[in-house]
């Protein structure tokens, strides 16, 4: 049996404060299973490649909350790549977003008259470092956004719901989800739709596998609801999830330990009855 493991990064695979993956590299190397680990994150291409290189993983990954899926150049072997794929550095990309981040800023900028917020690329490197605790080098990688421009909310919790509603009124195709630190506005794509498209593409290579998803934030819900098993990694925010998928495991530990805890539960307990 082969496993496709779809995993968020910050707060799921990586500790939300230190960005450490702890002993997970060794744990992954010791797994006596057939698997692929597909990171599904709000991070940029460059950020995810850096993490993957540290762990020596060469599987596909999904960037900027589902905006684009990237496959290693040799992933499809002799299969023909159609014109819908773009070649970028060492990967083929399949873009789901049709939204130009610059046009998004223009369409939402007038809301600053009523609400206090800033777009990610408007924040200084110093401010992003303060918010995220990233190193300056990693902050630079995080600003290399190709598809999205997240929103940093600086207003009251009370106004948050009204803000989201106004975005939907501006364009009914817009959806707004919260990640660990930022709002993410998309044009009818999310982590779940990206996962669906990935499986559609993946089925052309092989269709026999078990799917697992792992996340810790609201923007992970579409992904968690689609897989055979879903894992919610304990978070400091203790966000309450309402999920359709009944096969959900909630870790007792935060990342990165909670990631290992979740997989071990599924492999040792759930799979016996699957």
Q: Give the strand pairing for 117-119 and 151-153.
A: antiparallel
Report whether pLDDT(137) > 60: yes
| Of 49, 31, 15, residue with least CA distance to 235 | 15
Mean per-residue pLDDT of the chain: 91
Which domains are delineated in the chain? 2-96+190-273 (3.40.50.1000), 101-187 (3.30.980.20)
User: What average pLDDT does range 228-253 have in this prediction?
Assistant: 82
User: What average pLDDT does range 18-23 have in this prediction?
Assistant: 97
Report whether pLDDT(116) > 80: yes
Q: Could you tell me the CA-to-CA distances from 172 to 52, 117, 165, 167 in Å, in that order?
A: 36, 21, 10, 8
The residues that bridge with 248 in the sheet, in sequence order, are: 230
Lowest mean pLDDT among 97-111, 174-188, 233-247, 251-265: 233-247
Lowest mean pLDDT among 9-18, 72-81, 225-234: 72-81
Each residue's pLDDT tens digit, 66-106 = 999 999 999 987 666 777 899 999 999 999 998 888 888 99
Report whether pLDDT(171) > 70: yes
User: What average pLDDT does range 44-53 have in this prediction?
Assistant: 98
Report whether pLDDT(44) > 90: yes
d(CA 12, CA 34): 21
- pLDDT computed for residue 34 by the predictor: 92
- pLDDT computed for residue 205 by the predictor: 77
User: What average pLDDT does range 248-270 have in this prediction?
Assistant: 92
Report whether pLDDT(113) > 70: yes
Residue whose pair of structure tokens reads 């609400």 in the numeric block: 115
User: What average pLDDT does range 221-232 have in this prediction?
Assistant: 93
Question: How many Å from the N-terminal Cα to the C-terminal Cα in the chain?
Answer: 11
d(CA 246, CA 225): 9
In this predicted model, which residue has the larger pLDDT, 80 or 193?
193
- pLDDT computed for residue 160 by the predictor: 93
């Amino acid at each position: 049996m082969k496993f496709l493991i779809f995993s968020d990064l910050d707060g799921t695979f990586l500790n939300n404060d230190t960005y450490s993956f702890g002993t997970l590299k060794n744990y992954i190397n010791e797994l006596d299973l057939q698997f692929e680990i597909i990171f599904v994150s709000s991070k940029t291409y460059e950020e995810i490649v850096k993490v993957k290189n540290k762990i020596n993983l060469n599987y596909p990954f999904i960037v900027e909350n589902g905006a684009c899926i990237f496959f290693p150049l040799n992933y499809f072997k002799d299969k023909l790549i159609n014109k819908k794929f773009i070649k970028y550095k060492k990967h083929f990309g399949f873009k789901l977003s049709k939204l130009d981040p610059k046009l998004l800023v223009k369409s939402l900028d007038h809301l600053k008259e009523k609400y206090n917020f800033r777009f990610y690329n408007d924040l200084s490197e110093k401010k992003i470092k303060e918010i995220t605790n990233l190193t300056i080098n990693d902050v630079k990688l995080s600003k290399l956004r190709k598809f999205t421009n997240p929103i940093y909310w600086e207003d009251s919790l009370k106004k948050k719901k009204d803000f989201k509603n106004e975005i939907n009124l501006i364009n009914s195709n817009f959806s707004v989800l919260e990640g660990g630190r930022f709002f993410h506005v998309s044009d009818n794509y999310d982590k779940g739709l990206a996962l669906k498209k990935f499986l559609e593409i993946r089925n052309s290579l092989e269709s026999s596998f078990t799917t697992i998803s792992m996340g810790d934030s609201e923007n992970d819900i579409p992904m968690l609801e689609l897989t055979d098993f879903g894992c919610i990694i304990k978070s400091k925010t203790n966000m309450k999830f309402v999920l359709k998928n009944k096969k959900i495991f909630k870790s007792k530990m935060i990342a990165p330990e909670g990631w290992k805890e979740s997989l071990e539960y599924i492999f040792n307990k759930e799979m016996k009855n699957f």
